[in-house]
Amino acid sequence: MHTYIYPKTYDCIVIGGGHAGCEAALAAARMGCSVLMLTGNLDAIARMSCNPAIGGIAKGHLVREIDALGGEMGKNTDVTGIQFKVLNRKKGPAVWSSRAQADKLAYSARMKRVLEEQAGLDLKQEMAARIMTADGSANTVECLTGNTYHSAAVIVATGTFLNGLIHIGESSFSAGRAGESAAVELAASLQGLGFQMGRLKTGTPPRLNAKGIDVSGMVRQDGDTVPLPFSFSSGKLNIDQVPCYITHTTESTVKIIRDNLHRSPLYGGRIKGTGVRYCPSIEDKVVRFPDKPSHQIFIEPEGRHTAEVYLNGVSTSLPYEVQVAVVRSIEGLERAEIMRPGYAVEYDYVLPTQLYPTLETKSVRNIFLAGQINGTSGYEEAAAQGIMAGINAALRVKGREAFVLDRSEAYIGVLIDDLVTKGTNEPYRMFTSRAEYRLFLRQDNADIRLMPCGRTLGLISDAQIAKLDRKKDLIREGLHNLAELRSENMTAEQLLRRPEMSWADLPRLGITGLPDYDAEVIEQIESEVKYAGYLKRQLEDIERFRKMESLKIPGPIDYSLMHGLKKEAREKLQKIRPVSLGQAARISGITPADVSILMIFLARESRLHPQ
């Protein structure tokens, strides 16, 4: 076979140009690494393979955090978004989460441009086939063309491409996603490196042509009057927003699906991978909730310059002709034409308990994994891992200390800790309820929580930090004003603390003299006031949590020598190789008694081998 060794040696190769790959490549390059991105299709950079939206509950938090670390997802969404909305506004600020409908093509094109312009980053259209190692450390990526690239670190962000298998009705074929070939050789290479793999399944609904859709009977859903940007660096968004529409399935939809269930690869038993409970297919919904007569469907535009729309809520892998019947049974879609059918895709993932919290694999040094390959679902979850993998690969190459966010610092920390500590056997999606310090980890304070980290890493500029400091001053000033200003015998702070009150209500209640702050500042002041007592309690919990996290476990440790530990506990610890006592305590099946034993053992170790 032809081989050609590319003369340039990179610091870091990123395999995959999706949401994880883009953030990984940008972070590493921005930290001064020479980076190569390999992708099977340069026109599919940052492609939104499923819904045309970024953010949503808990996902919006992730986008803000990525932004605070100098990532691109928030900025890219602000530039290419076509509808912005803060969800859960009627509930408490901890669960407010931004979501934007994005123009898919624009999103992809703008991200491609950013990558192209990034200094230190090369882009090449190549299918990676094999990762080679020397002395247990990754150093080479060989492509299907036979072209070979050397690099100090490799980040694998292949999404659903590893042994991807698409199912539509009775037919199935190899593909990473519709229209692109699967990564078969790379999957074999990863297996050859000794990684334990699993199989997952995800799916997507059909796309329709808008001209056959009658929205007259549907509920129109608009964006917020004042769209709130994701990125700290975006100014006010001055855009024309486009609406989405809500419709419903009918009794005949349910009947059509039921009559054709045997033709579904899911129920016909041909799909082996575990599906997403959070985005169930319409077949799943009908089977699992047989009493529900009708299901809500959202019609979302795929972009500003296309008539194609996304049929959110009808993810399906039924045969094409059944999909046509299903679509036409939905109110307002009686004459709709499918442009692309829905499908299910099965793919390999690497059991994420084989990773350190840096996303580096435990068994092969300098290989980092990010995104769906780790068993997650969602653009935002992928991007969050991407930026962390990129940062840690760069830190490794530069010989700097690793960067890990813990569960009390960020949703990103919760996400990665869950993956590497507990693992997952279904596509993992972020939820706010996964964050035990939810009141503290809000999207409104992601900047304050994480921009200083971004600065230390070299991903946030001094100018941005100066702007952040100004925002902090305003918040302090605002809080001070609230404590001072009174209406009769109540301070503004006391008034605002009532659950039903907001900043905007204060003048009506007789509070005058409040400065005119930006929405972002007000949001944060409100959160601080409303949650004051609870935040104090949560911060105490966080202090306790951090004590356990700070008790580091220096590797490698031979757990089989640990007297008093049960066999199961020894095996679990050996497998997960926790980096701290805190992480050890979170491994399922590890009891407080096990942790005590571990603690004593560690204290002895460090005394015997002072570092």
Contact residues for another protein, defined by CB under 8 A? 51, 57-58, 87-88, 90-92, 94-95, 276-280, 285, 288-289, 292, 295-296, 298, 312-313, 315, 431-433, 436, 438-439, 499-500, 534, 543-544, 547, 550-551, 563-564, 566, 588, 591-593, 596-597, 599-601, 603-604, 607
User: In this structure, are residues 206 and 432 in contact, taking their beta carbons and an 8 Å threshold?
Assistant: no
Q: Which is nearer to another protein, 4 or 289 (CB)?
A: 289
Minimum separation from the CB atom of position 465 to another protein (A): 30
- Kindly tell me the burial class for residue 458, based on how many C-beta atoms sit within 10 Å of its own C-beta (0-12, 13-18, 19 or more): middle
Minimum separation from the CB atom of position 147 to another protein (A): 41
Q: Which is nearer to another protein, 170 or 543 (CB)?
A: 543
User: In this structure, are residues 405 and 61 in contact, taking their beta carbons and an 8 Å threshold?
Assistant: no
Would you list the DSSP string of 580-595?
Answer: BHHHHHHSTT--HHHH
- Which residues make beta-bridge pairs with 173? 166
Phi, psi of 151 (to 5 degrees): -160, 150
Q: Which is nearer to another protein, 328 or 566 (CB)?
A: 566
Minimum separation from the CB atom of position 163 to another protein (A): 25
Q: Write out the H or E segment, with its range, that includes residue 285.
A: helix 282-288
Q: Which is nearer to another protein, 62 or 155 (CB)?
A: 62
Q: Which is nearer to another protein, 139 or 424 (CB)?
A: 424
Minimum separation from the CB atom of position 283 to another protein (A): 13
Minimum separation from the CB atom of position 315 to another protein (A): 8
CA distance 69 to 30: 11
Cis peptide preceding 556, ω within 30 of 0: yes
Minimum separation from the CB atom of position 605 to another protein (A): 11
Per the document, the length of the chain is 611
Q: Which is nearer to another protein, 130 or 546 (CB)?
A: 546
| Three-state secondary structure string covering 123-169 | EEECCEEEEEEECCEEEEEEECCCEEEEEEEEEECCCCCECCEEEEC
Place of tokens 């005119």: 516
Minimum separation from the CB atom of position 210 to another protein (A): 19
Q: Which is nearer to another protein, 429 or 455 (CB)?
A: 429
Q: Which is nearer to another protein, 322 or 581 (CB)?
A: 581
Q: Is 190 helix (H, G, I), strand (E, B) or coil?
A: helix
CA distance 126 to 129: 9
Q: Which is nearer to another protein, 236 or 288 (CB)?
A: 288
Minimum separation from the CB atom of position 175 to another protein (A): 23
Q: Which is nearer to another protein, 81 or 280 (CB)?
A: 280
Minimum separation from the CB atom of position 547 to another protein (A): 6
Q: Which is nearer to another protein, 488 or 500 (CB)?
A: 500
User: In this structure, are residues 274 and 428 in contact, taking their beta carbons and an 8 Å threshold?
Assistant: no
CA distance 487 to 284: 55
Label the pairing between strands 171-174 and 343-350. unpaired
Q: Which is nearer to another protein, 517 or 601 (CB)?
A: 601
Minimum separation from the CB atom of position 555 to another protein (A): 20
| Three-state secondary structure string covering 475-541 | HHHHHHHHHHCEECCEEHHHHHHCCCCCHHHCHHHCCCCCCCCCHHHHHHHHHHHHCHHHHHHHHHH
User: In this structure, are residues 573 and 559 in contact, taking their beta carbons and an 8 Å threshold?
Assistant: yes
- Which residues make beta-bridge pairs with 274? 200
Minimum separation from the CB atom of position 335 to another protein (A): 23
Minimum separation from the CB atom of position 389 to another protein (A): 25
Q: Write out the H or E segment, with its range, that includes residue 463.
A: helix 462-484
Neighbours of 477 (CB within 10 A): 14
Q: Is 136 left (phi over 0), alpha (psi -120 to 50) or beta?
A: left
Minimum separation from the CB atom of position 73 to another protein (A): 20
Dihedral sign from CA coordinates of 420, 426, 429, 432: negative
Phi, psi of 237 (to 5 degrees): -90, 125
Q: Tell me the two tokens of residue 470.
A: 């100004």
Q: Which is nearer to another protein, 3 or 550 (CB)?
A: 550
